Amino acid sequence: MTEFVQLKVDVVVTGLFPAILAAKQATKAIPIVIVTAQDPVATGLIDSLARPGGNITGLAGLTRELSGKRLELLQEVVPGISRVAVLWDTNAPGAAIGLKEYEAAARALKIPLQSLEVQGPNPDSEGAFQAAAKGRANALITIRSSLLTTSYRKQITDLAMKNRLPSMYEGSNWVEAGGLMSYTSNEADMYRRAATYVDKILKGAKPGDLPVEQARKFELIVNLKAAKQIGLTIPQTVLYRADKVIK
C-alpha cells in the first residue's frame, strides 16, 4: 500500500479488510473506495454511513443483517435442527459482533448455538470440529474473516463434509470450494457500483462527503454435490429461491 502512496495514485479501490486498514494507515490524502463485508462504522473505518468523513467511502455488504436469514435457511434445510455451531476467528475484526448477531437471531428462532472459537494466524479447525461433534451440533455457520476465507476455506469445507455437517457460509467462494450453502450480498454488483464512486471522485467529489451505500442485491447459492455427499435432500422450496445451484 505504501507503493501506491508513493506513486501518488488518484484513487485506491480495495475489498479485503486488512488491505482497507493498511490503506487507511498509509494515507489520509488519497481517496479510498471500499467494498467490504464488515460494518465500516462498528469497525472504526468511518464516522457514519451518511457522512463517512476522512478519505474513505464506498459500499458495505449487509453481512451481519443477514444473520437471521441464514439461520432460517438452515432451519428449512436441516430436518430437526437441534444445535448450530458457529465457527469464528477471535482475532478477526467484527467477528465478535457477528457472533452476537447470530445469538440474537437464534434466540428469536429458539435454536441453540455452540460457539466454536479459533484463533489466527494458525486456527485449530480440526479441534473446533471435534468440539462441534462433542456438543452434538448438527449444522454449521462460519463467520467470514480474511484469514479463514483466504487460507482455510478449503480445509473448513472439507471438514464440514467429513463430519457430515450441513454448512452455511457468508460468501459464494465458500460454496465454490465445496461448502453447502451461502447467502450474502452480491459482490460483483457491489464492485460495479464502486466504479460510480471512482467516477465521482475523479470529477472532484470528496470521499468524506459521499455516503457509504449498502448492498442492494443478494444471492443464495446451493451446492447439490455437497448435499448428496452428506446425504441431505435440499427442499424444492429452497432450490426455487436459489440464484445459483451447483450440480
Largest CA distance in the chain: 58
pLDDT in tens, 80-116: 899 999 999 999 988 998 999 999 999 999 999 999 9
Place of cell 475489498: 15
- Using alpha carbons only, give the angle 38, 41, 46 rounded to the nearest 5 degrees: 110
DSSP 51: -
pLDDT value at residue 231: 96
Same-domain status, 117 and 234 = yes
pLDDT in tens, 9-60: 999 999 888 889 999 999 999 999 999 988 899 888 999 999 999 999 999 9
Same-domain status, 77 and 168 = yes
pTM for this entry: 0.88
Q: Where residue 95 sits, what CATH number does that domain have?
A: 3.40.50.2300
Burial class (CB in 10 A: 0-12, 13-18, 19+), 137: buried
What's the structural domain count of the chain?
2
- When the pLDDT of each residue in the chain is averaged and rounded to a whole number, the result is 94
Same-domain status, 204 and 133 = no
Percent of the chain with pLDDT over 70: 99
Structural domain harbouring 106:
64-184+219-246
pLDDT value at residue 1: 63
